[in-house]
Chains A and B, each alone.
Chain A
Amino acid sequence: MSHDLNALVGAYVLDALSDDERTVFEDHLRTCVDCTAEVLGLQETAAELTHLTAAEPPAFLRENVLAGIDQIRPLPPLADNVVVLRRSLMSRVWPALAAAAAVVALLVGGWGISEHRAAEHATAKSDAFTSLVAAPDAKTYTAHMKDGSTATVVVSRKLNEFALVADRMPGVAHGKTYQLWTMDAEGKATSAGLFTPSTGRTVVTSDVDLTKAATIGVSVEKAGGADTPTLSAVVTTVGI
């Protein structure tokens, strides 16, 4: 995709795009690290402009705000136990806004994004998962694990990302690791990264290219990973 959209960064930061343009641009931000970084910097700049217009608010406004917060509770934090496997080190996915979180709550239903006590700050990682689940073309698949439990794989071909969600995934022996794979129709496997499970819910996301992927798999490998999956140590495979 050409990067004409980069020219819109300034107007986006100043809320000078039309609603349609804004939607397209925010969509672009989800996968563009450069534009996201520029937006963040220019938003700090725009914030400086507000020194010029600072004004004392009326006293009743303060009362109304404080009365208002007495009536409502802050929303719980988003899941922080998300492992993100990314090709690029500098990955920043533009945080999904509250609307996406609401969509997630609807889609995810019985899973319930973990509400366990968050770290001091919600991280961009959980927003990557939120964006994935909220993608219009997100599909979920059931993965049957070797130990009889089931896990879920969420795939968005449009975002070219997927996630594995598994509860109470068994730990691995010392010197071993889980490895995530995609496989094409011919069975050729590409590594999507290494991970260790969390206690409770494990969520692993990956942005490995899904164009040719027909299957997602997990195997147990030596620490450091393998070039191809050890077939006897495959924990699950699921067609996508």
Chain B
Amino acid sequence: MSDVHFMRGSQPGANQPPAATGDDAPPLADLLSRASRGDQAAFAQFYDATSGRVYGLVLRVVRDQAQAAEVVQDVYLETWRQSARFDRERGSVLSWLLTIAHRRAVDRVRSAQASVERDHRYAETSVERPFDEVSEQVQRSLDAQRVRKALDDLTEVQREAVSLAYFGGYTHSEVAEMLQLPLGTVKTRIRDGLIRMRDALGVSVA
């Protein structure tokens, strides 16, 4: 295996540097493309640029470090395998990667635990701001602040529904039960919440 010279020496607890920024950082799509031809060093760079976001997300959803590590390893191996099949028309490399990661994290947490158990753990945490338990651990990068503001600008129900679904890994039916709302309402709030955040963050698919 070739030597890897691109260690990102981040401080413990700091966010990973944002992907695909920095004057000399190659865009993720290029790294992926090189990886698809077997360039392991390029994939190592790709890992370094993205693993903080991926691991952090998976950890939040599965709430177990050992399982998070397993899922994340699986995600990256699958990304490596599929690297030649990434379709640029389907969006950014990062959202593709995080979509895979989130789905696998949710699949893991749903198969590993009965709903009842997860509901019980949820009830023990704060209902109003379900991710406070996480925010203390994370240094507030500018990006995180920006996203936090956009999330805070949602209505309470939109925010809770999006958070429970995305970070909690709950189905919309489960969210409806937990929030004591009709399923139709939850569906709408989730969608509206995401749309508002999309507009607030100026996200678009090129």
Contacts and interface: CB of A to CB of B under 8 A. Distances in A.
Contact of B90 (A17, A74, A75, A95): A95
B138 A118 contact: no
Interface string A46-74: 11111111111110111011111110111
Interface stretch (A37-45, A167-175, A210-218): A37-45
A46 B86 CA distance: 19
A57 B7 CA distance: 13
Interface in B173-200: 173, 175, 184, 186-188, 190-195, 197-198
In which size bucket is the chain A interface? 35 or more
A162 B130 CA distance: 49
A61 B51 contact: yes
Contact of B165 (A14, A45, A64): A14
Contacts of A65: 47, 72-73, 76-77
Given A9-B191, A75-B84, A50 B47 contact: no
A236 interface: no
In which size bucket is the chain B interface? 35 or more
A227 interface: no
A56 B90 contact: no
Interface string A88-109: 0000100100100100000000
Contacts, number: 235
Interface string B115-133: 0000000000000000100
A234 interface: no
Contact of B147 (A11, A48, A74, A76): A48
A41 B188 contact: no
B204 interface: yes
B92 to A, nearest CB: 6
A54 B134 CA distance: 9
B166 A14 contact: yes
Interface of B: 1, 4, 10, 12-16, 29, 33, 35-38, 40, 43-44, 47-48, 51-57, 59-60, 65, 69, 72-73, 76-78, 80-92, 94-95, 98-99, 102-103, 106, 131, 134-135, 137-138, 141, 143-144, 146-148, 150-151, 162, 165-167, 169-173, 175, 184, 186-188, 190-195, 197-198, 201, 203-205
Interface of A: 7-11, 13-18, 37, 40-58, 60-62, 64-70, 72-78, 92, 95, 98, 101, 118, 120-124, 127
12 contacts: A10-B187, A16-B166, A44-B203, A47-B92, A47-B99, A52-B131, A53-B59, A58-B69, A61-B51, A66-B40, A68-B73, A95-B90
